[in-house]
């Protein structure tokens, strides 16, 4: 029998249907929120699945999916996958890097500009009919050009933001990352490595672009916020859990931070009332990679990954962006020895 694959959400039909050339294809017509039980049920009878960042694939779901050999995540972040459990079970996991880098960097910069220049706050004020008289001191914001841009997390998206800041806006760009970039690359993106404390205290605008892991949970907490300039802007386009949102709301409400732009939230799609209550914050519904061209490219890459991971197509066995081929090998070797 042909392998069976399942697609967890409505994506782009024309792209998803390519899977039908190789596999029995089960699609999902309605946008769906999956409970762990429903997720386990959907994964139970399939060889491969194409999922989005809202679908959690953990050890419990994997244990109930004996046929599962591949999970293709539509998204670059993969904190929704238990990679360790997948590797131990010999299941190939893939994500969609590169195709969304520039689009997501654009959104990061948009949020930064909207927050620093109070764009959405101004618009609400205007629409509320409060613009009675032009005034010299209405909606004074912070400059972006020439300011110091801090970037926490210097992967591909971080580098895209650095280039925009350094080359487009003449900013001084500082970054912190687990590992330092090679010097030539630092020069190319126009960024200088500093420790976290220096980053926090010197940035006029700080953009978060690091992966969400146990180590990055609430990295931006009350203590970190207290290190930042009261005039600074904070932008999060990574994952909500990186920021202690209550501490952020408190800092914004009490003038200890000027503004924030958030595309991601710890309990999304729920957004804390403490954040919604603030004027000096720009909120978007996790749209970092949301352009038509990029979302199509992400689905295409996920499809190519799934086809290859299940041993079909021109890249059979070598998915273009596999996350755990080495880890699977190591897990197999470990078991053989044990
Ligand atoms: C979106 O957040 C992604 O990780 O692609
Ligand atoms: C994503 O591609 C990143 O590395 O930041």
Query: What are the boundaries of each domain within the chain?
Result: 4-97+292-337, 101-283
Supply the pLDDT for residue 319.
98
Sign (positive or negative) of CA dihedral 311, 312, 317, 319: negative
User: Taking Cα atoms as reference points, which of 213, 257, 252, 253 lies closest to residue 231?
Assistant: 257
C-alpha 98 to ligand 1 mean position (Å)? 11
Q: Which of 73, 77, 95, 97 to mutate to test the pocket of ligand 2 (most atoms within 8 A of CB)?
A: 97
| Per-residue confidence (pLDDT) for residue 83, from 0 to 100 | 97
Instruction: Please tell me the predicted confidence (pLDDT) of residue 338.
Output: 45
Segments in 13-82 forming alpha helices (H): 13-16, 36-44, 59-63
Mean pLDDT of the region 278-305? 98
Report the residue among 289, 295, 301, 321 best suited for mutation to probe ligand 1: largest number of ligand atoms under 8 A from its CB: 289
Q: Is the confidence at residue 165, as pLDDT, over 50?
A: yes
- The predicted pLDDT at position 336 comes to 61
Query: For 297-318, what is each residue's pLDDT tens digit?
Result: 999 999 999 999 999 999 999 9
pLDDT at position 90 over 80: yes
Ligand 2 site residues (CB inside 6 A) read 76, 97, 101, 155-158, 209
Long-range Cβ pairs for the range 317-322 (8 Å, 24+) = 319/70, 319/72, 319/92, 319/94, 320/94, 321/94, 321/95, 321/96, 321/97, 321/98, 322/92, 322/93, 322/94
> Does ligand 1 lie within 6 Å of residue 153's CB atom?
no
Q: Over the chain, what is the mean pLDDT? A: 97
Looking at residue 255, its pLDDT comes to: 97
Q: Ligand 2 mean position to 154 CA, how many Å?
A: 8
CA-closest residue to ligand 2 atom 4 = 155
Domain 101-283: assigned CATH number = 3.40.50.720
4-97+292-337, CATH topology level? Rossmann fold (3.40.50)
Closest ligand to the CA of 99: 2
Same fold, 4-97+292-337 and 101-283: yes
**Of 108, 158, 175, which is best to mutate to test ligand 2, by the most ligand atoms within 8 angstroms of its C-beta?**
158
Q: Is the pLDDT of residue 1 over 90?
A: no
Residue 155 has pLDDT above 50, yes or no: yes
What is the CA(138)–ligand 1 centre distance, in A?
A: 36
Nearest CA to ligand 1 atom 1: 75
Ligand nearest to the CA of 286: 1
Question: Taking the CB of residue 276, how many other CB atoms lie within 10 A of it?
Answer: 10
Give every CB contact of residue 243 below 8 A, 6+ residues apart in sequence. Answer: 208, 218, 219, 220, 234, 236, 262, 266
Compute, in angstroms, the gap from residue 166 CA to the centroid of ligand 2: 18
From the list 169, 168, 170, 166, the residue with the least C-alpha distance to 192 is: 166
- What are the tens digits of pLDDT across the range 177-221? 999 999 999 999 999 999 999 999 999 999 999 999 999 999 999
Active site residues: 239, 268, 286
Residue 238 Cα to ligand 1 midpoint, Å, equals 7
Query: pLDDT tens, 107-145?
Result: 999 999 999 999 999 999 999 999 999 999 999 999 999
**Is the CB–ligand 1 distance for residue 288 below 6 Å?**
yes
Residue 334 has pLDDT above 90, yes or no: no
């Amino acid at each position: 029998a042909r392998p069976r694959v399942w697609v967890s959400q409505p994506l782009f039909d024309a792209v998803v249907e390519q899977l039908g050339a190789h596999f029995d294809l089960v699609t999902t017509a309605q946008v769906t929120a999956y409970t762990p039980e429903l997720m386990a049920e959907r994964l139970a009878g399939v060889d491969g699945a194409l999922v989005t960042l809202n679908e959690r694939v953990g050890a419990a779901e994997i244990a109930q999916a004996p046929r599962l050999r591949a999970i293709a995540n539509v998204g670059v972040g993969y904190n929704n996958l238990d990679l360790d459990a997948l590797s131990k079970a010999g299941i190939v996991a893939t994500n969609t890097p590169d195709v969304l880098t520039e689009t997501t960097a654009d959104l990061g910069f948009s949020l930064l500009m909207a927050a620093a220049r109070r764009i959405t706050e101004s618009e609400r004020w205007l629409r509320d009919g409060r613009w009675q008289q032009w005034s010299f001191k209405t909606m004074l914001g912070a400059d972006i050009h020439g300011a110091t841009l801090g970037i926490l997390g210097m992967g591909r998206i971080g580098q895209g933001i650095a280039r925009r800041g350094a080359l487009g806006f003449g900013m001084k760009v500082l970054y912190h990352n687990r590992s330092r970039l090679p010097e030539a690359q630092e020069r190319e993106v126009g960024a200088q490595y500093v420790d976290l404390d220096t980053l926090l205290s010197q940035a006029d605008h700080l953009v978060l672009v690091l992966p969400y892991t146990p180590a990055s949970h609430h990295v931006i907490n009350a203590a970190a916020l207290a290190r930042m300039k009261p005039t600074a802007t904070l932008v999060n386009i990574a994952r909500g859990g990186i920021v202690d949102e209550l501490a952020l709301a408190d800092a914004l409400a009490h003038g200890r931070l000027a503004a924030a732009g958030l595309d991601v939230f710890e309990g999304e799609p729920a957004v804390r009332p403490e954040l919604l209550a603030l004027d000096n914050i720009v909120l978007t519904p996790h749209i970092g990679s949301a352009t038509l061209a990029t979302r199509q490219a992400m689905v295409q890459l996920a499809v190519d990954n799934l086809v290859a991971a299940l041993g079909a197509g021109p890249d059979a066995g070598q998915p273009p962006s596999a996350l755990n081929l080495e880890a699977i090998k190591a897990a197999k070797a470990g078991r053989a020895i044990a």
